[in-house]
């Protein structure tokens, strides 16, 4: 049986970053990936002659670890199209035009939205995103759902629904009653501030030429035959000195193991001796959000001719946010929209034709009937893929971040755990995966030197 310095399980960005940094540090590394491709939640697919980014795609200016890696790999970026006016679809389904960040709501509601943004910014400023459980108000913020917390902050329903939109459907992709106010603050702190999250021009700033999946592809190319695909790890047997990893009946030795998986997927692997109880509890209280990402490509970006940027928000719409997603250098025009949490549940129960009709009708609420007839229509819904199980990422239920958050970072014997879903800065984003992968590798290399 061959023994590696480190076996990395999972060839998403976390695993591939960790593996490459370990190789740079002189280690003999093997990456085992259950799918027949690398990239995990990053993937580009060709549909009807155009590339569509099925998973993660955007890069924002605060994501310094990802930006540095993109440059290191020789990749380049381009800006999301944002010229012209944005749209706000109100409760009566009237699409109202606006510019800048101030939504076209009545003055009092606008002030209330700004006040609430300030309150969350203040809470986020007091948080170290690597240790959200140490926030001065951690216990109280983690004991209430974000919905309850918001209800206690304001009686202005429209202000409340818009703030809920940013952190619920748009970010954590869960109903706001299912995650805590502390998790909402963590999401804000992980991006630098809540102000950053509500600024689409900031948070959805750039894309990578060739797609964000070029990042894992380039890392895998550097790793070469150190990456083994279609290798679903089923068992890790460990002692204080190392582990034996089983894949397809084959046993592989490892001095260190990195499980670069969403916390929910650690449970798919039999680990002996079993993980300490608190480690199991911690992962049992994590779950994926749900969002269906929908892209519709048209012969032309017709909204631009009408002076529209393609950006739209509709807190009461099936598609709660929409953006111009036209590919770099393409003459066609593409819109991307998102259907989240309870709406995603409901659409999961209807036929593909009914789903498409409902989603395009919601696009039309923003852009008119021209949106009803795309040349290409692509849905990506990760909930039906066992090796992911939802989108964008996993998070804790109410009360669990303070109770078990720190556990997710603790190694057990030679096994270390990581994923974008437990990152501080870059939480639930590719930047967090890069940071986690880098940190895991550094911890292993530091331990080796000692
Ligand atoms: P993953 O990518 O989930 O990698 C885990 C890997 O482990 C997978 O390849 C899986 O197949 C493998 N695996 C699981 N079990 C086993 C096993 N037993 N044996 C071997 N292999 C196993 N982030 C952004 O920054 N910007 C965005 O615009 C953005 N949009 C998103 C849109 C969608 C639709 C989705 C789904 C995600 C989006 N994200 C975005 C989030 C981002 O994609 C993730 O945070 C990031 O890719 C996670 O990387 P990871 O390596 O931690 O996990």
Rounded to the nearest whole angstrom, what is the distance from the C-alpha of residue 107 to the centroid of ligand 1?
Answer: 41
pLDDT for position 328:
87
Q: What percent of the chain has pLDDT over 90?
A: 97
CB atoms within 10 A of CB 108: 11
Rounded to the nearest whole angstrom, what is the distance from the C-alpha of residue 164 to the centroid of ligand 1?
Answer: 25
Question: How much is the average pLDDT of 196-212?
Answer: 94
Residue among 7, 8, 10 whose CB has most ligand 1 atoms within 8 A, to mutate: 10
Residues 6+ apart with CB under 8 A from 351: none
Q: In the predicted model, is pLDDT for residue 100 greater than 90?
A: no
Confidence band of 449 (pLDDT split at 50, 70, 90) = low
Rounded to the nearest whole angstrom, what is the distance from the C-alpha of residue 15 to the centroid of ligand 1?
Answer: 10
Q: What is the pLDDT of residues 162-182, one digit of tens each?
A: 999 999 999 999 999 999 999
Question: How much is the average pLDDT of 4-21?
Answer: 98
- Taking the C-alpha atoms of residue 312 and residue 212, their distance in angstroms, rounded to an integer, is 23
Mean model confidence pLDDT for the chain: 97
pLDDT for position 448:
76
Rounded to the nearest whole angstrom, what is the distance from the C-alpha of residue 54 to the centroid of ligand 1?
Answer: 11
Q: How far is CA 188 from CA 171, 221, 292, 432, in A?
A: 10, 34, 22, 14
pLDDT for position 303:
98
Give DSSP secondary structure letters for 336-384. EEEEEHHHHHHHHTS-HHHHHHHHHHHHHHHH-GGGG--SEEEEEEGGG
Q: For the ranges 134-143, 194-203, 269-278, which has the lowest average pLDDT?
A: 194-203
Task: Identify the CA nearest to 150 among candidates 128, 117, 125.
Answer: 117
Q: For the ranges 46-50, 67-71, 328-332, 352-356, which has the lowest average pLDDT?
A: 328-332
Question: How much is the average pLDDT of 397-418?
Answer: 97
pLDDT for position 181:
98
* Confidence (pTM): 0.98
Confidence band of 146 (pLDDT split at 50, 70, 90) = very high
- Taking the C-alpha atoms of residue 307 and residue 385, their distance in angstroms, rounded to an integer, is 39
Q: In the predicted model, is pLDDT for residue 450 greater than 80?
A: no
Ligand 1 pocket, Cβ-based, cut-off 6 angstroms: 9-15, 32-35, 40-42, 55-58, 232-233, 260-262, 265, 268-269, 293, 380, 382, 387-388, 391-393, 419-420, 428-431, 433
Exposure string for 271-296, b = 16+ CB within 10 A, e = fewer: beeebeeebbebbebbbbbbbbbbbb
The CA radius of gyration of the chain, in Å to the nearest whole number, is: 22
Residues 6+ apart with CB under 8 A from 100: none
């Amino acid at each position: 049986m061959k023994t590696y310095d480190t076996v990395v399980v999972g060839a998403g960005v976390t695993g591939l970053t960790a593996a490459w940094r370990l190789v740079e540090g002189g280690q003999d590394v093997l990456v085992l990936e259950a799918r027949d491709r690398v990239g995990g939640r990053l993937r580009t697919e060709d549909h009807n002659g155009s590339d569509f980014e099925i998973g993660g795609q955007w890069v924002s200016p605060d994501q310094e670890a990802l930006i540095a890696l993109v440059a290191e790999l020789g990749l380049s970026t381009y800006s999301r199209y944002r010229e012209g006016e944005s749209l706000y679809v109100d409760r009566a389904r009237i699409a109202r035009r606006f510019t800048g960040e101030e939504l076209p709501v009545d003055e009092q509601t606008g002030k209330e939205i700004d006040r609430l943004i300030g309150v969350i910014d203040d809470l986020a400023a007091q948080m170290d995103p690597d240790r959200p459980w140490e926030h001065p108000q951690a216990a109280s913020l983690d004991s209430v759902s974000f919905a309850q917390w918001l209800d206690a902050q304001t009686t202005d329903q429209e202000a409340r629904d818009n703030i809920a939109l940013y952190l619920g459907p748009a970010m954590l992709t869960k109903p706001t009653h299912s995650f805590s106010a502390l998790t909402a603050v963590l999401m804000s702190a992980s991006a630098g501030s809540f102000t950053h999250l509500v600024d689409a021009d900031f948070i959805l700033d750039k894309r990578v030429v060739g797609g964000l999946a070029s990042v894992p592809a380039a890392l895998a190319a550097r790793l070469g035959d150190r990456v083994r695909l279609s290798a679903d790890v089923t068992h890790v047997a460990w002692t204080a000195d190392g582990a034996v990893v089983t894949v397809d009946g084959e046993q592989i030795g490892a001095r260190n193991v990195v499980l670069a998986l969403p916390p929910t997927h650690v449970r798919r692997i039999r680990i002996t001796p079993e993980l300490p109880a608190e480690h199991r509890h911690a992962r049992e209280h994590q779950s994926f959000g749900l969002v269906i990402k929908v892209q519709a490509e048209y012969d032309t970006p017709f909204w631009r001719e009408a002076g529209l940027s393609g950006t739209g928000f509709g807190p009461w719409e099936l598609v709660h946010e929409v953006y111009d997603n036209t590919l770099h250098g393409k003459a066609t025009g593409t819109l991307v929209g998102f259907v989240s949490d309870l709406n995603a549940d409901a659409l999961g129960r209807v036929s593909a034709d009914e789903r498409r009709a409902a989603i395009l009708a919601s696009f039309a609420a923003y852009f008119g009937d021209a949106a009803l007839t795309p040349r290409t229509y692509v849905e990506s819904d990760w909930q039906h893929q066992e090796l992911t199980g939802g989108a964008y990422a996993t998070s804790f239920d109410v009360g669990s971040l303070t109770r078990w958050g720190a556990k997710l970072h603790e190694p057990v014997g030679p096994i270390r755990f990581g994923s974008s879903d437990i990152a501080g800065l870059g939480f639930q984003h590719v930047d967090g995966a890069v940071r986690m992968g880098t940190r895991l590798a550094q911890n292993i290399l530091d331990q080796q030197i000692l």
